[in-house]
Amino acid sequence: MSTNESLGHTLIRADLNSPIQNKTIQDNFRIIKALEHLKKIRENSKTVTFTSHLGRPLGKDENYSLKPIAEEMSELLGEKVIFIDSIFDQHIKSNLERNPGKVFLMENIRFYQEELDNDTDFAQKVTSNFNTFILDAFGAAHRSHSSIVSFGKYINSFQGELMSNEIKNLQKLTNSPAQPYTVILGGAKISDKLQLINNLIPHVDNLLIGGGMCFTFLKIKGYNIGKSLCEDDYLSTAEVLLESKHGHKIHLPSDFGVTESIERGSRVDKNIDEFTDQDIGVDISMSTIKEFESILLKSKTVFWNGPMGIFENPNYKLGTQSITEIVSNLNAYTVVGGGDSVSAIQMFSNLSKFNHISTGGGASLKYLEGNQLPGVNIYKPLIL
């Protein structure tokens, strides 16, 4: 298979972390992205081995095994991916030598506490089986773990193309984005995104807020939000933001799909000033969608992270579906920041209708918060 083996045995730290239920992968977006540049790497390697985390296991836990990921990779590549059970297996080197041209996957790297502790002996031991290391796990680049910041100290190392591509695209949002620049934020918690809001708000023209996180803002504005999600610890922070000189850029929903029982799944639509004490806001509604649409249609750059409602329930999907469709058809530079927004696009539209879909939910937010991520730009880019 190899035409030039100058990289030797190559180890790639990828982010293959995917939602799995009953050993079945629910969404293979990250796996597909991790394999996108594999062909060229294989042409220059004796073998290629992937390493990745999955979830947050506490030690070795079969529920977090990467075996289902190996099966999915085998299916996508149309050939068997060889699974390496233990990173400390003494026979890894001979296994690689016996299988030239093959692709391997190692078991969950977070089964080893040394990974989380950024243990350098661990890094040296794991990488001693390989000649080249490629860091391509953008989704984990905000973690100072051994495979992110230490593996590259011991062998010839590069930054992978997926990672370089992520940075190039996210930089378009931080370096003079075309204006008007609109950010759409949703999802459950304001606490997760507060730092991002603080960092972005001076640079954006509009901040559209939906999902569960808008209710903390609406409560401090004096509305009765019933039993909607609210983080009372963040009320004063929300107030400071609304009253700041950038407060006018924040657009909050004016109407919602509401229910008295999320489990029963009923829905009525009402204005925010009509909420009863029992109401739970579960989705944005038509007037809000229209207002958000008119802002989006004028925008030249759009970043979106987080659903507008509990879109997993078909009765509460209207807002998220509508925003997905509107952003899909914009004549603007559109970037989506991982996680649930990617699932929504897969449900309601097409990934190819966006300029960039980040593989890193948390990492892309951390990057846009203005942080220097520990794993970004620490190795020279791989150019093949």
CA distance 88 to 363: 29
Q: Does the footprint of ligand AMP cover residue 344 (CB under 6 A)?
A: no
Q: Does the footprint of ligand AMP cover residue 281 (CB under 6 A)?
A: yes
Q: Give the range of 67-75, 76-84, 306-314, 351-359 binding ligand AMP by CB under 6 A.
A: 306-314
Of 48, 73, 209, 282, the one binding ligand AMP (CB under 6 A) is 282
User: CA nearest 327: which of 308, 345, 309?
Assistant: 345
CA distance 340 to 311: 9
Q: Give the range of 85-93, 158-166, 216-224, 302-310 binding ligand AMP by CB under 6 A.
A: 302-310
Q: Six-digit token pair at 22?
A: 């009953």
Closer of 241 and 336 to ligand AMP (Cβ): 336
Q: Give the range of 122-130, 174-182, 243-251, 309-317 binding ligand AMP by CB under 6 A.
A: 309-317
Specify the pairing of strand 255-259 against strand 280-284.
antiparallel
Determine which one of 187, 337, 339, 360 is catalytic.
339
Q: Say which amino acid occupies 318.
A: L
Closer of 120 and 198 to ligand AMP (Cβ): 198
Nearest approach in angstroms of CB 281 to ligand AMP is: 5
Of 139, 177, 212, 375, the one binding ligand AMP (CB under 6 A) is 212
Q: Does the footprint of ligand AMP cover residue 196 (CB under 6 A)?
A: no
3-state secondary structure of 189: coil
Does 339 qualify as catalytic in the annotation? yes
Determine which one of 8, 101, 226, 362 is catalytic.
362
Subset of 66-125 contacting ligand AMP (CB under 6 A): none
Which residues are paired to 91 by β-bridges?
none
Of 89, 119, 192, 274, the one binding ligand AMP (CB under 6 A) is 192
3-state secondary structure of 301: strand
Which parts of 82-129 are beta strand (E)?
Answer: 82-84, 103-106
Backbone angles phi, psi at 47, to 5 degrees: -145, 165
How many CA atoms lie less than 13 Å away from 116 in the CB half-sphere? 12
Q: Give the range of 15-23, 32-40, 90-98, 307-315 binding ligand AMP by CB under 6 A.
A: 307-315
Q: Does the footprint of ligand AMP cover residue 363 (CB under 6 A)?
A: no
Closer of 43 and 192 to ligand AMP (Cβ): 192
Of 66, 140, 208, 310, the one binding ligand AMP (CB under 6 A) is 310
Give the CB-nearest residue to ligand AMP. Answer: 187
Of 139, 152, 307, 375, the one binding ligand AMP (CB under 6 A) is 307
Burial of 12: CB neighbours in 10 Å, binned 0-12, 13-18, 19+: buried
Q: Does the footprint of ligand AMP cover residue 306 (CB under 6 A)?
A: yes
Q: Does the footprint of ligand AMP cover residue 360 (CB under 6 A)?
A: no
The alpha carbon of 155 is separated from its chain's Cα centroid by a whole number of angstroms, namely 28
CA distance 10 to 323: 41
Nearest approach in angstroms of CB 36 to ligand AMP is: 25
Q: Say which amino acid occupies 118.
A: N
Q: Does the footprint of ligand AMP cover residue 190 (CB under 6 A)?
A: no
CA distance 70 to 42: 17
User: CA nearest 242: which of 198, 204, 291?
Assistant: 198
Q: Does the footprint of ligand AMP cover residue 187 (CB under 6 A)?
A: yes
Specify the pairing of strand 301-305 against strand 181-185.
parallel
Which letter does DSSP use for residue 13 in this model? E
Closer of 73 and 363 to ligand AMP (Cβ): 363
Subset of 314-343 contacting ligand AMP (CB under 6 A): 339-340
Closer of 160 and 339 to ligand AMP (Cβ): 339
Residues 6+ apart with CB under 8 A from 43: 1, 2, 3, 4, 384
Q: Does the footprint of ligand AMP cover residue 253 (CB under 6 A)?
A: no
CA distance 218 to 213: 9
Catalytic amino acids?
A: 30, 189, 339, 362
Residues that bind ligand AMP (CB under 6 A): 186-189, 192, 211-212, 229, 281-282, 306-307, 309-310, 312, 339-340
